[in-house]
Structure 1
């Protein structure tokens, strides 16, 4: 994508990000813990990254507003409607994933 000008590249990246949010919204059954196990990020991470990007540009964006954007509704509402308790297997897989990351960094 180096051949693209900065504006076009930014527009494409923004469109891809919006598509990611649409995909996550259409797949609410995919839990955050599943995303963390497989990809080491989740919807909350995306929210934090938005807040950080805003801060880097001197734009005020609070975490709850960013989460509402990512989740498509207030987080508390999403959580009560779609979040399920993590299973022992999910928790073990997440712990193993996090340990593997620590081992690689060591």
Structure 2
């Protein structure tokens, strides 16, 4: 595991919810990241965000870490949940809220 993979792994495992995104939650730098931020904000989930645009090593490293080619990427309790389309579909189906409740991150 490379140094950046070690850093990402530690970050993913030490945060209940972490979003690797383009930009910051207050100022997303792409529409897909903005959609995921909007969903998480709507649900009231507390999460850490990592701006992949500020570090090319992280931007490439997270793609290798998850074996997933696109950003944003959402992790819950160290489990890769998915990117924008998956998050949006899970939210619309009520599955995302249920996941956060099941993991003890949202009240029922």
Higher fraction of helix? 1
Higher fraction of strand:
2
TM-score band, normalised by shorter chain: under 0.3
Q: TM-score, normalised by structure 1?
A: 0.27
Larger Rg computed on CA atoms:
1
* Higher RCO (CA < 8 A, seq sep 6+): 2
